[in-house]
Amino acid sequence: MNEQKKPTASPWQSVFNMTVAAVAGQVGCLTVVVLTLMLLGGLWLDGHFGTRPLFTILMLVFSVPVTLVLMFTVVRRATQRISAMTGDHTWPSETLSQEEERGEA
């Protein structure tokens, strides 16, 4: 019988996938926290100054660039950690595909 072997995932690929999932979870939670804090802060300011929708809208609009900057920072730090872990900045799957292109694998 002609059975084909299934390619096995390398341990590095599993670590990479879990890292990406963790970073995505951090970014998602961070977004929710920032939006919630800005919403509550805007509602409190509106209640304190009697300007019902003004501060809530301003704080929610201001939360967009704050969230983007925080997301960028989290992703950049995670990318630096991943690059430091790999050392040569190539994943085993990239090395394998490069060898296949040259006909070495």
For residue 99, what pLDDT is reported? 57
Q: Can you give the pLDDT at residue 83?
A: 84
Q: What secondary structure does DSSP assign to 35-100, as a single string?
A: HHHHHHHHHHHHHHHT-TTHHHHHHHHHHHHHHHHHHHHHHHHHHHHHHHHHSSS--HHHHHHHHH
Overall pTM surpassing 0.85 (yes/no): no
pLDDT at 75: 94
pLDDT at 96: 54
As averages over each run of 10 residues, the pLDDT of the chain (105 residues) reads: 70 85 96 98 97 96 98 94 73 57 61
Domain residue limits, the chain: 25-80
